[in-house]
Amino acid sequence: MIRNTSGNNGLFIPGPTNIPDQVRQALNVASQDMRAPDFGEFTLPLFRDLKRVFKTESAEVFIFPGSGTAGWEATLTNLFSVGDKVLMSSFGQFSTLWVDMAQRFGLDVEHCKVEWGLGVPFEDYRRILEQDKEHKIKGLFVCHNETATGVTSDIKQVRTILDDLNHPALLCVDAVSSVAAIDFRMDEWGVDAVVTGSQKGLMMPTGLGIVAVSQKAIALRAQATLPRSFLSFDDMMKHNATGHFPYTPATSLLHGLRASLDFLFEEGLENVFDRHWRLAHAVRCGVEAWGLELCAKDPALYSDTVSAIVVPEGFDSGEVLKAAYYRYNLSLGSGLSKVAGKVFRIGHLGNMNEIMVLQALAGAELAMKDCGIQIELGSGVAAAQETFLLNNRVSLKQAA
């Protein structure tokens, strides 16, 4: 099949996301001396402003050249030792991969396997922690937003369980596809380590793995014996104190990060979260109008950054993706692992607005129709338009 390459590619995968012009322009910077005595005047405000995004006052923030996966590894190797018992759950591709990484590093993983489409198993977590009278479980791991299934879990509820049981386990959270798009409150929720990446809500190219770590976790790092070098918190802290790094940083990406943070703060974080909800709600209304279902099993779990849409029995979502890409120059997210061929995903996070969402829905309708899926053309688009009009009326009324 020959690809239609006219116009711009409609990018609606859940990351990398669309990059604002201001950020792309900021990336185009001349090489500079990363050991210059005044380099910290540029980088120290980055650490400070990332704390605003994580909503923390006291955490240490680390910026690694890497991805969210590097952040996962940094969290494991700096805070745990071989044989440490940790509690984890898997309910999608990325929560599964973090479990796999912990097992590769020799941690003793208590693994709660959950049906894909559901979220964090709160009752299982409570039962297992309640039975852990000797506090052998050193870490509790949670995927905040499971990108493969479009499921967001309640981190506050996990903290409540730990507090109710007075359990000292470190709370470690994968928030790669939620930070800077879905409200995340590190201090309020008592999170000890949170991982994100530059290519999602921060609207940048892939290349930065960002980790925020509580002072409680920092104090315990000396007890951890897993080897680390490139991802060492100790090495980072020593050099970050003056705004420098233990090795050459991804300087151009740091300039992009500066522009991204300014972009987010100009809109206002609470407005950013509200915008993501509105766009996600419109997509969900569109899916309902098609007569299709989301992979997420409960509306309380619906993600505001990505929707995983189940195709009817007998159809292959991979064919929908191919039709969208080759015929309409539209990139939709694929189904991963257990849901491969069963779902396609619409990413609605980052630099996104109403017209772009309508483009994604219209293109998905054409691609599904091409594949023989019986939907009414325009139904999803119209449903989304109605929600946008309703929200606009409410906003205008409030403004008046």
Residues 244 and 192 reside in one and the same domain: yes
Write down the pLDDT at residue 395. Answer: 63
CB 29 within 8 A of CB 251: yes
Handedness of CA 310, 11, 303, 279 (dihedral sign): negative
d(C-alpha 266, C-alpha 272), whole Å: 10
Range of the domain at 301: 10-17+268-399
Task: Provide φ and ψ at 39, rounded to 5°.
Answer: -60, -35
* Pair 345, 394 in one domain: yes
170 and 181 share one domain: yes
Per-residue model confidence (pLDDT) at position 26: 98
Are both 281 and 251 inside the same structural domain?
Answer: no
The answer to whether position 23 is within a domain reads no
220 and 283 share one domain: no
- Reference 59, options 151, 191, 221; nearest CA is 191
With contact defined as beta carbons under 8 Å apart, do 283 and 396 qualify? no
Last residue of a domain, one of 242, 265, 288: 265
- Looking at residue 2, its pLDDT comes to 83
Position 65: which residue type?
P
Of 366, 341, 359, 217, nearest to 290 (Cα)? 366
Number of domains the chain contains: 2
Domain presence at residue 384: yes
The answer to whether 40 and 244 are in contact (CB under 8 A) is: yes
Report yes or no on 22 lying in a domain. Answer: no
Burial label for 48, CB within 10 Å (0-12, 13-18, 19+), is exposed
- Residue 161 in domain: yes
Q: How far is CA 222 from CA 26, 107, 167, 172, 227, in A?
A: 38, 17, 20, 17, 12
Q: Which of 231, 265, 299 is the last residue of a domain?
A: 265
Q: Which domain-ending residue is among 215, 237, 265?
A: 265
Same domain assignment for residues 65 and 164: yes
Based on the fold, state whether residues 305 and 353 are members of the same structural domain. yes
* Cα distance between residue 392 and residue 389, in whole Å: 5
Contact 162, 140 (CB under 8 A): yes
Q: What are phi and psi of 316, to 5 degrees?
A: -110, 115
Q: Are residues 241 and 277 in the same domain?
A: no
351 and 308 in a single domain? The answer is: yes
Segments of the chain scoring below 50 in pLDDT: 396-397, 400
Residue 394's pLDDT is 62
pTM attached to this predicted model: 0.95
Q: Quick one: pLDDT at residue 391? A: 84
Please indicate, yes or no, whether residues 133 and 237 belong to a single structural domain of this protein. yes
Which pLDDT tens digit goes with each residue over 113-156? 999 999 999 999 999 999 999 999 999 999 999 999 999 999 99
User: Over the range 253-287, which residues count as b (16 or more CB within 10 Å of their CB) and which as e?
Assistant: bbbbbbbbbebbeeeebeebbbbbbbbbbbbbbbb
Is residue 4 in a domain? no
Q: Are residues 38 and 58 in the same domain?
A: yes
User: What is the reported pLDDT for 175?
Assistant: 98
**Cα 65–chain centre separation:** 17
CB-CB contact of 358 with 381 (8 Å): yes
Which CATH number do you get for residue 329? 3.90.1150.10
Residue 274 and residue 261 share a domain: no
Domain assignment present for 118: yes
